[in-house]
Amino acid sequence: MRKGRRVVVPFGKRKLAGVVVDEGQEADLKGYKAKELLDVDMELPPLSEELLDLTKWIAKYYMCSWGEAARSALPPGSAAATARSRIKTVIMVGLSPNAPEHPPRGSKQFAILEQLRIWDAAERLPVTQTELLAAAGGTSATVRRLAQMGFLEIDVAEMDRSGGGSSDRDSSRLDLHKEQVRAIEAISNQLDSGKFGCFLLHGVTGSGKTEVYLQALQHARKTGRTAIVLVPEISLTPQTVYRFRSRFGDEVAVLHSRMSQGERYDAWRGIGEGRYPIVIGPRSAILAPVKNPGIIIVDEEHESSYKQYDPAPRYHARDVAVVRAMNNGATCILGSATPSLETLSNARQGKYTLLEMPERVPIAGKPAKLPDIHVVDLRNEKTLRQQNRVLSERLVNAIAARKESSEQTILLLNRRGFSPIMECTSCGWVPECSDCSVSMVYHKPLHHLRCHYCGRTAPVPVSCSSCGQPTMDFAGSGTQRLEEELEERIPGIRLLRMDLDTTSTKGAHHRILDQFGRGEADVLLGTQMVAKGLDFERVTLVGIINAEAGLQLPDIRAEERAFQLLTQVAGRAGRANLAGEVLLQSRQPGHPVIQFALRHDYAGFAEYALEARSLLNYPPGGKLFSIVFSGPKDEITRKYAEQWRNLIDSRLQSVDRLGPSPAFVHKLKNRFRYQILLKVPTNVPSSHVRNGIQEANKALGSLSDGYRLTVDVDPAGVI
């Protein structure tokens, strides 16, 4: 049996799906009788040795089973121990060139033949059997009989539902500017060496990173090797995908999360058989079955959507990308305008080569500038709150002016401000945990504030600790309200709203962006979705409604994400020959993160944030493991977590152990959740931590029905 084949095996009374990971000599079964395999999937190309190895690494690193990891490398649905044929076939029917002279006897046979002759005269043959039977009546048996008698020809064709490929190409390369040339040269040399190398391509928004990816890909394809391009979320980056499609045409398979099972299955098969040497997709595409990958590109490498939380494997696709490239002697490119601190620190340590593109692509020979960013201090806009409004006079005027001159505006409302966080409406002060430097979250049932990293609690403040005013309130405001306010204040304004509500249907993103691109609206307003990858030349204004939102989330990366978001969205303005402007509204204009964003100062931000992280042993100054217990009863779940914490105490004295404390989302789908966080200093080997965790799990024994323990290595975001 070939390694990597998907099989179905009997397991007690059940049937389970599996993957052949090894073939051996006759095993010593010690008296047990070996059972026969029930089924072998011969349609799906077997998992390659390379992917078997990679999934084994994932299982070990992210602490899950090999089976869980291998499942991610198969198209969804194929892990179910059921029917095998998922390939859809169609039966095509045509007339036989040497049909008998005499007509067939049956009336049904006659009708079918007549219909085919009509279509033949109209040059419409061959047709599908389904279409034929619908038009002429009869059954598939009639068709088969006619074929046996020599009247017809039948052909069975496989249908490819993946929609991969399109043959129109636009291979016109752009003339590269100086920094692009330098980047391409370094990458090409690496590709030619045939050895592993990883680059951090740090280029400001609009510096032409995508063009570098495209030409690097072209170079890799010339050497005959395949490629994977990861993008954060396909539906949010249609413009990027379009550029790859038009350069590489039918070599490209695009994977996305809204594909049906059948579509994914076909795409997977096409990739495995080498029909699509270039794969573009979100995080799961990193396990696509390309053979001999020569280049792996991770666009917007800082994006948190590359980390999978549920189910296992809880992998980070960017990190798996680096490992996969390493295993294959491939070149890896991590690109971003705001690299994650982890990647930055890897580059500084010399693990990755840093390529910088600090300037925008020049337009018509003139240097293109990053947009000017101005702050609107909301503390001076006292009437807004009374009127229940969120837009300052200055922003409204700026939007109206753009409308007059047929330019466009993008408005960002940061949804991350919606967790129950308290802030002072006079000065913007937010209560923080003194041990963790994250903001505390309001808990309604107990009416107190709590730190979700260490569990410390504090009473709800009556007045602000910073300015002394009795003006503590909850933060937040919605896109719909913003829409109403704009319509009321700028009569006749044409709006497009992009948020979870307006984009729940297939293709909705595309539609909204197309409309905006055609100039059918003056304003595109929305949540984080409007911040990424959009390249519209008439957008000259970006407004940020609540720039400080998200800064106070109980997450060690809260400030990093806020900075990234501000920089990304600001980068949407003034990308062509019209100059851009950004108006950033904030109640905390003096906050360091906002100040760095104002000055386009990534380096300054990185210094500031890295120092804070390393002081607290947070990544990249240390490693995190998050252990979450969940279950139907609050008390029992907490007890399990406490027992586990006791078991780990003796085993891992060299690491910081925090918790258990209620998880950020304490109750999720009627399950209670408790989290223990392990902070591992850089000098403690993580194998030691993994062993400790495994021993503790073993010592705890199996949990009662409905209770669950999950381990999350390198967790991202609030859990």
Residues that bind ligand ADP (CB under 6 A): 174-177, 180, 203, 205-211, 361, 535
Count of beta carbons in the 10 Å neighbourhood of residue 362: 12
State the number of binding residues for Zn ion (CB under 5 A): 14
Q: How far is the CB of 175 from ligand ADP (least distance, A)?
A: 6
Token couple for 461: 């403040």
Going by C-alpha positions, the residue among 691, 602, 613, 679 that lies closest to residue 647 is 691
Q: Rule CB under 5 A: choose which of 146, 204, 412, 433 binds Zn ion.
A: 433
Nearer to ligand ADP (CB atom), residue 211 or residue 714: 211
Smallest gap from Cβ 129 to ligand ADP, in A, equals: 47
Per CB under 5 A, the list member of 436, 523, 606, 689 interacting with Zn ion is 436
How far is residue 599's CA from residue 148's CA, in Å, rounded to a whole number? 78
**Residue number with CB closer to Zn ion (433 or 529):** 433
424 binds, among Zn ion, ligand ADP, none (CB under 5 to 8 A by kind): Zn ion
Q: Is the peptide bond before 313 cis (omega within 30 degrees of 0)?
A: yes
Applying CB under 5 A, among 62, 453, 640, 672 the residue interacting with Zn ion is: 453
> HSE-up of 662 (CA within 13 Å, CB side)?
19
Q: Which is nearer to ligand ADP, 252 or 718 (CB)?
A: 252
Interaction of residue 464 with Zn ion, rule CB under 5 A:
yes
Gap between the Cα atoms of 295 and 187, Å rounded: 10
Contact by Cβ (8 Å): 76, 262:
no
User: Using an 8 Å Cβ cutoff, are 532 and 568 in contact?
Assistant: yes
Neighbours of 705 (CB within 10 A): 7
In the bound state with Zn ion, the residue whose beta carbon lies nearer, of 93 and 422, is 422
Q: Which does 361 bind (CB under 5 to 8 A by kind): Zn ion, ligand ADP, none?
A: ligand ADP
Helix, strand or coil, per DSSP, at residue 394: helix
Closest CA to 661 of 633, 618, 627: 627
Amino acid letter, 96: S
| Enclosing H/E stretch for 153 | strand 152-159
Shortest Cβ 542–ligand ADP spacing (Å): 14
Considering CB distances under 5 to 8 angstroms, the limit depending on partner class, which of Zn ion, ligand ADP, none binds residue 205? ligand ADP
User: Residue 321: what residue type?
Assistant: A
Return the residue matching tokens 């011969």. 42
Spatial separation of the C-alpha atoms in residues 236 and 338, rounded to whole Å: 18
Binding residue for Zn ion, selected from 8, 279, 451, 718, defined by CB under 5 A? 451
| The two structure tokens encoding residue 93 | 């029917």
CB nearer to ligand ADP: pick between 207 and 345: 207
Give the C-alpha separation, 283 to 290, whole Å.
15
Comparing C-alpha atoms, which of 106, 195, 193, 187 is closest to residue 146?
A: 106
CB of 464 to Zn ion, least distance (A): 3
Burial, 656: exposed, middle or buried (Cβ in 10 Å; 0-12, 13-18, 19+)? Answer: middle
Cα(673)–Cα(676) distance, rounded to whole angstroms?
10
Residue 466 binding target from ligand ADP, Zn ion, none, CB below 5 to 8 Å by type: Zn ion
The binder of 207, among ligand ADP, Zn ion, none, by C-beta within 5 to 8 A per type, is ligand ADP
Identify which of residues 570 and 598 has a Cβ nearer to ligand ADP in the complex: 570
- 424 in contact with Zn ion (CB under 5 A): yes
> What single-letter amino acid sits at 235?
S
Instruction: Give the binding range for Zn ion (CB under 5 A) out of 276-284, 452-460, 609-617, 699-707.
Output: 452-460
Contact window for Zn ion (CB under 5 A) among 281-289, 432-440, 645-653, 701-709:
432-440
467 binds, among ligand ADP, Zn ion, none (CB under 5 to 8 A by kind): Zn ion
**Contact flag: residue 427 with Zn ion (CB under 5 A):** yes
Total length of the chain: 719
Query: Closer CB to Zn ion, residue 438 or residue 647?
Result: 438
**Shortest CB 381 distance to Zn ion, Å:** 16
Judged by beta carbon, residue 552 or residue 567, the one nearer ligand ADP is 567
Nearer to ligand ADP, 175 or 705 (CB): 175
Helices (H), 387-438: 393-404
Least spacing, CB of residue 639 vs Zn ion, in Å:
22
Contact 266, 162 (CB under 8 A): yes
**Residue 272 binding: pick among ligand ADP, Zn ion, none (C-beta 5-8 Å cut-off by kind):** none
> 19 or 212: whose CB is closer to ligand ADP?
212
Q: Which does 435 bind (CB under 5 to 8 A by kind): ligand ADP, Zn ion, none?
A: Zn ion
Interior CA angle at 559 toward 555 and 563, to 5°? 140
Q: Cβ of residue 183: shortest distance to ligand ADP, in angstroms?
A: 11
Q: Which three-class secondary structure state does DSSP give residue 200?
A: strand
Q: Smallest distance from the beta carbon of 450 to Zn ion, in angstroms? A: 9
| Three-state secondary structure call for residue 516 | helix
Q: Give which of ligand ADP, Zn ion, none residue 454 binds (C-beta under 5 to 8 Å, depending on kind).
A: Zn ion
426 binds, among ligand ADP, Zn ion, none (CB under 5 to 8 A by kind): Zn ion
Q: How far is the CB of 513 from ligand ADP (least distance, A)?
A: 15
Q: Which of ligand ADP, Zn ion, none has residue 211 at its interface (CB below 5 to 8 Å by kind)?
A: ligand ADP
Nearer to ligand ADP, 159 or 174 (CB): 174
CB of 206 to ligand ADP, least distance (A): 5
- Considering CB distances under 5 to 8 angstroms, the limit depending on partner class, which of ligand ADP, Zn ion, none binds residue 147? none
Dihedrals phi, psi of 712, to nearest 5 degrees: -120, 115
- Exposure string for 62-96, b = 16+ CB within 10 A, e = fewer: bbbebbbbbbbbbbeebbebeeeebeeeebbbebe
